[in-house]
Structure formats: C-alpha cells, structure tokens
Amino acid sequence: MCRLLKIVQHHVRGRLQSVDELNLFHERMKNIGVKNFLQISLEQAFYLLCNGQIEDASRVLMVAESWRFGTFSASQNKFFKLIQAYRALLDYRAWLDKKASVTEGDSDFASHSSTAQEIFGLYKQATTSFQEILRFPGVWDPFVQCYVDLLESSGEKHKVEELLKEYAYNNKNPANPNAHVYLYEFLKRNEATSEKLINVLKILHSLVPSHRLMLEFSQLLAESDCEKHHKLAVQVAFDLLDFSSWKKDVNAWKCLERRLMNALIRNHKAWVMDEWGSRKAWWPAYHFSKCHAREECEHNEPLALRKGMVAGILLGRAHHYFSAFCILGSKIQTKSIQNMKTFVNTYSCANPD
C-alpha cells in the first residue's frame, strides 16, 4: 500500500497544483483500505506541516488519534504511537507560541488570567500526551527534549531527572547514546556531583568512545580523588584518538599528553603500557608517519607540538616524529619546549626500565 501511494502521488503530482488538491487526494486514499488509514493520515499531516498548514495538520492527527476500526495490528499500533507523538509535538508548539504571545506589560487582568489558563491547559495536554508515548519502548529523542523543556519551565526538575533516567536506563528501550547525553547535560546544568556525571559518562563511553563528551569525561576522571578514575582517564584519552575524526584535533592530543604526563610522574607507567600495548603495532603508521611529521610541522604547529610530545613519550626521543618536533621547537625557542624534551628524556616509555 505504501508503494502504491508513492506511485500514485508521483503519477498525479503534475496535475495536483495546490495543497488543497493533494490534501483531497490523501482523504480519498484513506477510503481505499481502512488498514492504511493511520499511515496515510500521518503522511498527510507531514505534507501539511511542510506547507505551513499547522492547524490542518493538527486536525488530521486529532481525527486519526480518535479513529478505531477493530483491533490494531502491530504495524498499526506503531503508526498510532507516532500520531500521538506528533500530536504532542504540536501541543508543545502551541504552548510555546502562546507563552511567547504573553507580554509583561499587559494591564488587562481578565485577559492575562484567561491566557494563563490557556497556557496551563496546553501544558497539561502536551505533558499527558508525552507521558503516554514514552510508555512505548523506542527512540523518542525529539519528543523527550520537548517534554524536558515543558517540565523544566515549570520547575519540576525532579520529574525531569526521573524521566531521563527512565529513558536512559530502561532495558526495554534500544541502546541510545543520546539518552545518556540528555541525562548528563541536565545533571550538569543543575550542578550535580562529579560522581553522578562520571557514572553517566561511563555508560556513554561504552556505547560511543569517540563521542565529543569524552574530552570532558577524561577531565572529570583526572580531577577525581579516585586512582581507578585516573587510570580510566588515560584509557578514555587513548580511545578517543583511535578514531579518524579526532586525528587532527589539538584538544584531543592535549588531553592525551596531560594524561600520559600525570600517569608517568605518579609512577604509573603500567597504565600507559596497558593501553599502548594494543596500539603500538598500528598507531605509529596511523598517527606518527614521516608524512604526518613533515606536513603537520609545516602547516599545523599547535598539533605537531602536542603530537610530538606524545610520540616522544610513547616511541622515544629517536623517533622521527619527535625529531621533527625538536626541530620545530628549536625554531620556536620557548622554555616549555626544553621542559618537554627533558620530560621525554626522563619518562619516555621507550626508555629501558
């Protein structure tokens, strides 16, 4: 039925010159087979939304939400949940619009009171709809974000935390990194403890070790009083640079450089070697080739300085990338470069124990 609808739409598109005509076409298609009523209604609502007819789209979704014909099949139930979700989204939009229309200088008390009641009614309607759809397992990211905004606007922070924890940790939902990101960002906004933040990011790291928040995660771990966290901070920094999207990121290399230096100064060379052991066969070609050294020293000095320090720590002062780093350092002539050379001479993992 879905393919039939697409074929017919494509065939008649040249003759349907207005939104109203295509809207009428959708209405007729609904009567061809009642089993596809919900799907066609959803497609019709999307079309109306894309053409700015929000009230008409809301009406279509409202009719579809109240429609019943026997027992829903599994696919019909999914379409019904999507219809409920987009109805909730339009209620949320109406709530936002009504809030924006209220002016602080409105002197008409009766009008202000009526508007406040209308805003509250839209708020209750939207929150009830969002609650209903979130009982159904799935990935509901856009709708969760709107629901969080609704609850936070009314100061119901405890409900937001409960909602986000349920969304992130409910085993019935598919694994979803964004769920943990939303929880972390909420906790961070509300100045949660480092322990809470670390616990959330641990799960995110297991799902997406290349996530942008891993830089923050490594920093949080490094600032902890727990030695296990310091060790994990080294792992997180290494993991990030396994991914090509981070290869030229100065902050990622700066993070790894700091983690390595801190570990070695505190006599935890074993932490570094544990991570380096699985990488020493492929990281030199992946990150520290002669081509990398030449290009980065010539065109990207900040990156070359960070990578050069890491290369010296992991591969020793004789490695070509560290040599290129030293040549670059001799041009810059800064005290920090000399300190880095001294550090590598003392702590490099390539040095004999």
Q: pLDDT digit string (tens) for 121-141?
A: 889 989 998 998 999 999 999
**Is 6 in the same domain as 122?**
yes
Chain segment 84-103, per-residue pLDDT in tens: 899 999 999 999 888 887 75
Instruction: Specify whether 5 is located in the same domain as 129.
Output: yes
For residue 84, what is the domain's CATH number?
A: 1.25.40
**DSSP alpha helix (H) spans, the chain:** 2-12, 19-30, 37-50, 54-66, 74-101, 109-133, 141-153, 157-169, 177-189, 194-207, 214-223, 227-240, 250-265, 269-277, 283-287, 290-299, 301-315, 320-332, 335-347
CA atoms of 135 and 127, how far apart (whole Å): 13
- Give domain status of residue 127, yes or no: yes
pLDDT tens digits, one per residue of 286-306: 999 999 998 998 889 899 989
**Residue 284 maps to a domain:** no
Percent of the chain surpassing pLDDT 90: 54
Shared domain for 87 and 154, answered yes or no, is no
Residue 168 lies in domain:
139-192
Is 189 exposed, middle or buried, given 0-12, 13-18 or 19+ CB atoms closer than 10 A?
Answer: exposed
Question: Which secondary structure element, helix H or strand E, spans residue 316, and what is its range?
Answer: none
Nearest alpha-carbon partner for 58 in 86, 92, 25 = 86
Burial class for 260, CB neighbours closer than 10 Å (0-12, 13-18, 19+): buried
Residue 226 pLDDT exceeds 50: yes
- Tell me whether residue 346 is in a domain: no
- Do 152 and 34 fall within a single domain? no
Distance of CA 51 to the CA centre of its chain: 29
Q: Is residue 43 a part of any domain in this protein?
A: yes
Q: Same domain, yes or no, for 85 and 40?
A: yes
Determine, yes or no, domain membership for 162. Answer: yes
**Residues 153, 122 share a domain:** no
18 and 126 fall within a common domain:
yes
Asked if residue 221 belongs to a domain, the reply is no
pTM metric for this prediction = 0.85
Query: In the numeric block, which tokens belong to residue 13?
Result: 């598109």
Asked if residue 155 and residue 124 are part of one domain, the reply reads no
3-class DSSP assignment, residue 19 = helix
Query: Residue range 170-199: average pLDDT?
Result: 96
Residue 165 lies in a domain: yes
pLDDT at 4: 44
Ranges 45-54, 125-134, 303-312: which has the least confidence: 45-54
For residue 191, what are its two tokens?
A: 């100045």
Name residue 301's amino acid: E
The continuous run of DSSP H or E covering 211 comes out as none
Q: Region 248-275: what's the mean pLDDT?
A: 97
Q: How many structural domains does the chain have?
A: 2
* pLDDT band, residue 55 (cuts 50/70/90): confident
Same structural domain, 123 and 4: yes
Q: 40 and 127: one domain?
A: yes
Residues 145 and 85 in one domain: no
Same domain, 78 and 6: yes
> Which residues fall within 8 angstroms of residue 38, CB to CB, at 6 or more apart?
64, 67, 76, 79, 80, 83
Q: What is the mean pLDDT of residues 102-118?
A: 64
Per-residue pLDDT, 50: 83
Tens digit of each residue's pLDDT (9 = 90 or more) over 269-281: 999 999 999 999 9
> Does the residue 75 lie in any domain?
yes
Give the span between the Cα atoms of 182 and 161, in whole angstroms. 10
Interacting residues of 325 by C-beta distance below 8 A, sequence separation 6+: 293, 297, 304, 305, 307, 308, 309, 311, 312
Separation CA 180–CA 169 (nearest Å): 9
pLDDT of 331 higher than 80: no
